[in-house]
Amino acid sequence: MFDTLTDSFKNAIGKIRFQDDEKALKKATAELKKSLLKADVHHKVVKELINTVELDTKKNGIGKEQFLRALQTELTHLLTIPGAPKGFTFASNPPTVVLMIGLQGSGKTTTTGKLAYFLKEQKKKKVMVIAADLQRLAAVEQLRQITAQIDVTLVADEHAKPVEIVKTGLEKAKKELYDVVLIDTAGRLAIDEELMDELAEVKKVAQPDELFYVADAMTGQDAVRTAQTFKEKIGITGVVLSKFDGDSKGGIALGLTEQVGVPLRFIGAGEKMPDLEQFIPDRIVSRLMGAGDVESLAEKAAAAIDPKEAKKFTQKIKKGQFNFNDFLAQMEQMKKLGSMKSIMGMIPGMSGLAKQIGDMDLENSQEMKMIKAMISSMTPKERENPDLLNNTRKRRIAAGAGLDQMQVNRVLKQFKNASLMAKKLSGKGGMKQMQDLMKQMQGGGGLPFR
């Protein structure tokens, strides 16, 4: 997610050896400046960052460690608004009301869905979404599909005014003890009086705890400028940067907090519901420095994986009884963790791999489609017991799935190998093998730039 920025830091640090002179430091800061500007970080922010890092490093003696530490401190400083909440905070008096605002097409509706999904799945909250975008009929329908998909309550009425529907929703939320209410609003192509008036009115009625401005990362510095305007005219408590997956530079995320004066709270990096990341400064800095974000990964995993199911699953693996139903269940759980790329970016030392993986979509890969087609052509008994599959059955499955028998054989062989491997790893000494493997991949752990 932050490949370009991480590379910039890595290259700059590479210019300095363990003990060094001012010339090397100048080279490093010049390199950093060039690449940050190229990554679309605002020039004022770059200047401040470079100056502070340079001064700080000099003060502590020029060397790799000192430069790294200065950079880490200044990055954290840049991304932090003192006193701002770390992660999503809930109002002491529920429901917590969040108003989602932004320009047309910026990603408000999608982000509302993602945030609802995050609060429901990771925070285990009772969530309601109110459709206060009544400009377009299709808008309500879009939200209806999204909330149905993630199984979250929607309050909508195509014939009511935004203010009325917000009132109705909030009353219901109080009566039925919802924890969080997210309000999706209409956008406009540009900032105009009508929109501002409508939003001001909705704000008055909703009395929101949070006003999130949803900005499209792909619009570059425009995202920052419009956020500033919304802050002045309506007041915002945070920014969500959407479509970050389409912004290969990523510099906006670095300067935005400092430039707008409100914290960046979430990043949207994909069209699917799990593709939303909390923006928590120290965790992000760790990722920027190539050291991963184990905390966020652990949180995601803990929310997605049901401990009872996990235990049952491990026992099956140990006995070598892993079957096709288990496989499908595991795929469902994986989906909740988000894209492969974002998972890789959170594992220490793996951010480089994240870049290689690119936008690989495991769920929709050819391989996965083939496997799913095969499984759906199996009888329930065959799914339970892969050993039943003799040639006659394989022929039938191949025909049903539109595959040839060689393909079916190949997938079955892979499946068998995988379950053998899993059985081996779960046995005695298996954990140690796994750890050795992880160690090799991490190259010793800690900050990988050292």
Ligand X SMILES: Nc1nc2c(ncn2[C@@H]2O[C@H](COP(=O)(O)OP(=O)(O)OP(=O)(O)O)[C@@H](O)[C@H]2O)c(=O)[nH]1
Kindly tell me which of 73 and 104 has the beta carbon lying closer to ligand X. 104
- What is the size of the binding site for ligand X (CB under 6 A)? 19
238-242 and 180-185 strand pairing:
unpaired
CB 179 within 8 A of CB 65: no
Q: What is the 3-state secondary structure (H, E, C) of 243-259?
A: CHHHCCCCHHHHHHHHH
| The two three-digit tokens of residue 322, written as one number | 């892993």
Shortest distance, CB of residue 141 to ligand X, whole angstroms? Answer: 11
Binding of ligand X by 8 (CB under 6 A): no
Q: Which is nearer to ligand X, 216 or 382 (CB)?
A: 216
For 241-306, the DSSP string reads EE-GGG-SS-HHHHHHHHHHSS-EEEEE-SSSTT-EEE--HHHHHHHHTT---HHHHHHHHHHHS-
- SS3 for 88? coil
Nearer to Mg ion, 108 or 300 (CB): 108
> 76 touches which of ligand X, Mg ion, none (CB within 5 to 8 A by kind)?
none
Taking residues 59 to 98 in sequence order and writing x for each that binds Mg ion by CB under 5 A, - otherwise, the string is ----------------------------------------
Tokens of 161: 């005014």
Rounded CA separation 383/387 (Å): 10
Q: Which long-range contacts (CB under 8 A, 24 or more apart) does 414-420 make?
A: 415/324, 415/327, 415/386, 416/386, 418/322, 419/317, 419/320, 419/322, 420/320
Least distance in angstroms from the C-beta of 41 to ligand X? 20
- Which listed option, Mg ion, ligand X, none, makes contact with residue 278 (CB within 5 to 8 Å by class)? none
Nearer to ligand X, 270 or 348 (CB): 270
Least distance in angstroms from the C-beta of 104 to Mg ion:
8
Q: Which of 8, 35, 109, 342 binds Mg ion (CB under 5 A)?
A: 109
What are the distances in angstroms from CA 10 to CA 80, 106, 206, 390? 22, 32, 46, 54
Specify whether the CB–CB gap between 155 and 112 falls below 8 A: no
Tell me how far, at minimum, the Cβ of 159 lies from Mg ion, in Å. 18
Between 109 and 257, whose beta carbon lies closer to Mg ion? 109
Cβ-closest position to ligand X? 187
Report how far apart, in Å, the C-alpha atoms of 318 and of each of 14, 304, 306, 314 are.
46, 22, 18, 6
Among residues 107 and 255, whose Cβ is nearest to ligand X? 107
* Least distance between ligand X and beta carbon 262 (Å): 19
Contact flags string 110-129 toward ligand X, x per CB under 6 A: x-------------------
Which of 42, 64, 108, 300 touches ligand X (CB under 6 A)? 108
Cα-Cα end-to-end distance for the chain: 21
Asked if 271 is part of the footprint of ligand X (rule: CB under 6 A), the reply reads: yes
Kindly determine how many residues on this chain lie close enough to bind Mg ion according to the rule CB under 5 A: 2
Judged by beta carbon, residue 184 or residue 293, the one nearer ligand X is 184
Output 210 or 245, the one with its CB closest to ligand X. Answer: 245
Task: Identify which range of 25-33, 89-97, 262-270, 282-290 contacts ligand X by CB under 6 A.
Answer: 262-270
Of 15 and 243, which CB lies nearer to ligand X in the complex structure? 243
Considering only residues 140 to 199 of the shown chain, the ones binding ligand X according to CB under 6 A are 187
133 lines the binding site for ligand X (CB under 6 A): yes
The minimum distance between CB 246 and ligand X, in angstroms, equals 5
By CB under 6 A, what part of segment 223-252 binds ligand X?
A: 242-243, 245-246
Secondary structure (3-state) at 27? helix
Listed residue (77, 186, 189) closest to 134, CA to CA = 186
Residue 187, phi-psi category: left (phi > 0), alpha (psi -120 to 50), beta (remainder): beta
Half-sphere exposure of 71 (CA within 13 A, CB side): 29
Please tell me whether residue 269 binds ligand X under the rule CB under 6 A.
yes
Instruction: Restricting to residues 68-107, name those near ligand X by CB under 6 A.
Output: 102, 104-107
Please report whether residue 14 would count as binding ligand X according to CB under 6 A. no
**Which residues, in sequence order, are CB contacts of 409 under 8 Å at separation 6+?**
394
Question: Are 147 and 153 contacting, i.e. CB atoms less than 8 angstroms apart?
Answer: yes
> What are the C-alpha distances in Å from 203 to residues 111, 177, 199, 215, 263?
19, 21, 6, 19, 20
**Contact status, residue 165 vs residue 157, Cβ threshold 8 Å:** yes
User: Of 109 and 147, which has the nearer Cβ to Mg ion?
Assistant: 109
Q: Which one of residues 4, 109, 286, 377 is an interface residue with ligand X (CB under 6 A)? A: 109
Q: Residues 262, 236: contact at Cβ < 8 Å?
A: yes
The contact set with Mg ion (CB under 5 A) reads 108-109
Binding site for ligand X (CB under 6 A): 102, 104-110, 133, 139, 187, 242-243, 245-246, 268-271
